Amino acid sequence: MRSDAEQPDPEQPGAKQTSAQQPSTEQPGAAESDAVTTDAVRGVAAGSDAAEEPALLEVAGLSVTFTGDRRTRRPDLRAVREVNLTLRRGECLAMVGESGSGKSVTASALIGLVPGRAEVRGSVRLAGRELLGLDDREMSRVRGDRIGMVFQDPLAALLPVTSVGRQIAEAVRVHRRVSRAAALRRAVDLLDQVGIPDAARRARAFPYEFSGGMRQRVAIAVAIAGDPDLLIADEPTSALDTTVQAGVLNLLEALRKDRGCSLLLITHDLGVVARSCDRVAVMRDGRITEEGGVLPLLGAAVPAGHLGELLAATRDEERAAPAAPSAAGAPVLRVAGLRRHYRARQRLGRAAPPVRAVDGVSFTVLAGQSLALLGESGCGKTTTLHEILRLAAPQSGRIDVLGHDLSRLTPRDRRELRRQVQVVFQDPAASLDPRMRVGDIIAEPLDIQRASAAHRATRVEELLTMVELPPGTERLRPGLLSGGQRQRVAIARALATKPRLVLLDEPVSALDASLRVGMMRLLDNLRATMGLSYLLVSHDIQLVRRSADQVAVLYLGKVVEHGPAWSVLENPQHPYTRALVDASPTTDPARERSRERVVLLGDPHATPGVGCAFRPRCPLFPVSDEATRGSCVTSEPELRQTHPEKRQFAACHSRQLKTIIDAY
C-alpha cells in the first residue's frame, strides 16, 4: 500500500448503495433468527460494558454480491450477507472464520475497495457519517485519514523501489500539508513508534532489507501515518513466525491504547483473538453467526455454535496427549554433519560471506518413527529436506537413506530409493499439476516406474480409500477439490509406490484449522498401518507435540536441541525452544492473557559470526554471569545431554540453564 488515497477505485461506479433500513429481500426467517442470537449474545457483552458511548463504526445490513457472468454462466456470489457490526472507540473487535467465510470482503467493503464486479448494499457509518455511496475522492480521504489498513503480506503492500522512509512520508503528505522534510521527520518518528530500532538510519532502507516482522511494522507505520480512528488489520501476523507474531500483536495493542484508535482484526487464528481482543464476531458463509465478548465466548466451557466448531479443532490439538512413542526399528534415515552453503551475490566486487542455510545438522529417523524438524522460517529445515530428496551427494556431511550412502549411489539404487522416499509438500495447490486428473496425479509415481495398467487401476482405487476420498474423485481435476481434499490427493500420490520414508513439509499449515487435526490423524494412522517413517518439517508446536516421537529444533542451520518430542516441548532446555513453546498461542483467553512469556527481539537472521548464533536474541545472555557470557561470545556451544537419565540434548553454554529459565 503506497498510499490509499492515490489508489484508483474501480468499484465505485458499479457499487450501489441504498438506505440503511433496506428490508432484507431474501430469507427473512434466516436473517431474523440470526439477529436474535446476535442480540442475545450482545446483551451479555453489553452488560459487562459500563460506559455506553456512541459507536465509532456502525455497520448495518451490509451485503456484498459479486455479480455473475451470463456468458460463462457463472452465478452470482453472495460473499457477505446482511452483516451488522458495531465498534466502539478504543475497542478491538476480531473477525474470525474459515477461509471463504467473507471476512476479508467485509473489510474491503468497509473501505470501499471491493475487488471485482460487485454490488454493495447496506450501511457503513464511521462516527455517524455514511461511507457507502461516497464518491472516489471523498472515500480516498476517509481511507488513511480515518481508516488505516494493514494487509497480510507486507512485502506486497510496500513499494519495493522506494525507501520505507519516503513511503511513509508520502502517506503523511497525502493527509497533511507539510513540507517534504517535515514529512520525513514524521516518518522517522513513526518508524520509532512502531519499534524499528535506529529509525533515522533505517528510514533510508528499502523493504527487502527488512525481515518479515519488521516489514509488517513498516506497513503499520504507513497505516497510522494519517492518524486514523480505525485500524483494519487483515491477517496481520499470518505470514509471520510465531515468535515475531507476538511482537507485532503487542505493537497493535500498544498503538490502540496510546492513540485510542479502534482495531478491527481479521484472523483465522483463535489464539490471536484470545490474546488481544475485546470482542469477537464469527463469520460463516457471509453471515455473522455469533458475536460477543472474547472472555465469555472463548472462555465458556462448551463454546456454542460455529465458534464452538472452530474452537473444537484447535482445542483438540492443544489438549491432545503427546504422541505415544512408536515402536522403533533400525535407522531409516541418518543425517550427519550436513552442510549446505549458498554463495551470496557479490556486491561491488566485495565477496559476501556464504549463506549458511544448513550448517552441520545431524539426526536419525528410526523405522516406524516420526521425527520433527522444528524452527522458524529461514532456519534451514526445508533446505535439509530438499538435500535429502535430491538423493545426491551433499555439499558436506553424510546422508544415509535405508542404509545407502547418498554420495555412493548407483543409478539403479537411486531409482529404487526414489520409490522408497516420497514427499508431501505444504501447498497442494502448487504441488499438484492443475491440468491433470486426480487419477493420473496419484498414479504418476507408478507411471514413472512403469507399473502395469491393471496394477495401476486397482492401486489408485486402494489409495483413494486409504486417504478417505470418495470413488469418482479420480476423474476430477484438483481445481474442483477443496484444500483438504487436495492435500489428501498429495498424500495418496506419496503413498502410491509403498514408500518406507515420507518427508512431510508443513503438511497442514496451508489448511484451515478445523481440517488440520483430521489430516494429522490420517497421517498418523497411515504411519501406523503401513509402517512408515516420517520426517516432519514444521513450525507448529501443537502439531509436533501431537504427532512426533522425536524433535530436532533448528536455529540458523544448526540443531540447538533434540530429544523425545514430549520431553523437549514440556521441558525445553534451550532458551530458543523455550521461546518457541511460549510463543505458540492457546485459545483460552484467561490463560493466554495471564501467562508470562519469553519474547524474542531482534532480527531472526542476524548471525554474529563467532560464538553462539542465538546470542543476539537470547533472553538469557544479558542475565548470565560473566564467565558464561564470555563463552557465548567466543565459542559455539555443542549439544550436551541435559540430564543424565534423559536422551535430551541442548546446545547452550548457560550452566544453570534450568534455574535461569524458571526464574525468568
Partner 1 sequence: MTAEPSAALPARAGDVRRDSLALRMLRDPMAVVGALLLALLVGLAVLGPWLWPYDHTTQRPEAMLAEPSAKHWLGTARLGEDVLAQCVRGLQKSLVIGVLVAVISTALATAVGLAAGYFGKRADRALMWGVDMLLILPSFLVVAVISPTLRDRSWLYMVLVIALFQWTLTARVIRARTLSLRGRQFVGAARYMGAGAGWIVRKHLVPHLVPLLVIDCTLHVSAAILSEAGLSYFGFGIQAPDVSLGSLVADGSGSALTYPWVFLAPVGFLVVTVTGVGLLGEALRRALDEGEAHAV
Figure out which of the listed residues 164, 295, 432, 565 binds partner 1, where binding follows CB under 8 A.
Answer: 432
Residue closer to partner 1 by CB (options 97, 247) is 97
Instruction: Name the E strands within 151-304.
Output: 230-234, 262-267, 279-284, 287-293
Binding mask 458-477 for partner 1 (x = CB under 8 A): ----------xxx-xx-xxx
Figure out which of the listed residues 73, 319, 350, 412 binds partner 1, where binding follows CB under 8 A.
Answer: 73
Q: CA 442: distance to chain centroid?
A: 28
Q: Is 481 in the site for partner 1 (CB under 8 A)?
A: yes
| Segment interacting with partner 1, rule: CB under 8 A, options 171-179, 346-354, 482-490, 541-549 | 482-490
Q: How far is the CB of 594 from partner 1 (least distance, A)?
A: 31
- In three-state secondary structure terms, 272 is helix
Complete edge-to-edge strand list for the sheet that includes strand 649-650: 421-424, 501-505, 533-538, 370-374, 550-555, 558-564, 649-650, 640-641
Instruction: Name the E strands within 116-240.
Output: 118-126, 129-130, 147-150, 230-234
Figure out which of the listed residues 159, 328, 389, 599 binds partner 1, where binding follows CB under 8 A.
Answer: 389
- Read out DSSP for 64-84? EEE--BTTTTBPPEEEEEEEE
- Total residues interacting with partner 1, rule: CB under 8 A: 51
> At 319, which amino acid appears?
R
Q: Is 389 exposed, middle or buried (0-12, 13-18, 19+ CB in 10 A)?
A: middle
How far apart CA 606 and CA 617 sit, in angstroms, is: 9
Q: How far is the CB of 408 from partner 1 (least distance, A)?
A: 19
Q: How far is the CB of 583 from partner 1 (least distance, A)?
A: 27
Q: How far is the CB of 103 from partner 1 (least distance, A)?
A: 14
* DSSP state at residue 327: P
Q: Is 28 in the site for partner 1 (CB under 8 A)?
A: no
Figure out which of the listed residues 8, 13, 71, 609 binds partner 1, where binding follows CB under 8 A.
Answer: 71
Buried b (16+ CB within 10 A) or exposed e, 59-97: bbbbbbbbeeeeeeeeeeebbbbbbbbbbbebbbbbbbb
Residue closer to partner 1 by CB (options 277, 424) is 424
Figure out which of the listed residues 320, 436, 451, 530 binds partner 1, where binding follows CB under 8 A.
Answer: 436
How far apart CA 446 and CA 493 sit, in angstroms, is: 9
> At 177, which amino acid appears?
R
| Segment interacting with partner 1, rule: CB under 8 A, options 217-225, 429-437, 616-624, 625-633 | 429-437
Binding mask 492-511 for partner 1 (x = CB under 8 A): -x------------------
Binding mask 233-272 for partner 1 (x = CB under 8 A): ----------------------------------------
How many other CB atoms are found less than 10 A from the CB of residue 595?
Answer: 11
Q: Is 249 exposed, middle or buried (0-12, 13-18, 19+ CB in 10 A)?
A: buried
Q: Round to the nearest angstrom and report the end-to-end CA distance of the chain.
A: 40
| Segment interacting with partner 1, rule: CB under 8 A, options 135-143, 208-216, 444-452, 588-596 | 444-452
Q: Is 410 in the site for partner 1 (CB under 8 A)?
A: no
Residue closer to partner 1 by CB (options 209, 468) is 468
Which of left, alpha, beta for 468 (phi over 0: left; psi -120 to 50: alpha)? left
Q: Which residue has 505458540 as its cell numbers?
A: 584
- In three-state secondary structure terms, 142 is helix
Figure out which of the listed residues 308, 360, 518, 531 binds partner 1, where binding follows CB under 8 A.
Answer: 518
Residue pair 472/481 in contact (Cβ under 8 Å)? The answer is no
Q: Is 437 in the site for partner 1 (CB under 8 A)?
A: no
- Dihedral of CA 469/473/474/478: which sign? negative
- Dihedral of CA 468/469/474/478: which sign? negative
Q: Is 589 in the site for partner 1 (CB under 8 A)?
A: no
Binding mask 293-312 for partner 1 (x = CB under 8 A): ----------------x---
Binding mask 76-115 for partner 1 (x = CB under 8 A): ----------------------xxx---------------
Figure out which of the listed residues 167, 382, 431, 550 binds partner 1, where binding follows CB under 8 A.
Answer: 431
Q: Is 535 in the site for partner 1 (CB under 8 A)?
A: no
Q: How far is the CB of 430 from partner 1 (least distance, A)?
A: 4
Q: Is 482 in the site for partner 1 (CB under 8 A)?
A: yes
Residue closer to partner 1 by CB (options 49, 413) is 413
Residue pair 364/549 in contact (Cβ under 8 Å)? The answer is no
| Segment interacting with partner 1, rule: CB under 8 A, options 194-202, 220-228, 434-442, 655-663 | 434-442
Interface positions with partner 1 (CB under 8 A): 71-75, 98-100, 309, 313, 389, 414-415, 418-419, 422-423, 425, 427, 430-436, 444-445, 448-449, 468-470, 472-473, 475-477, 479-485, 488, 493, 512, 514-515, 518
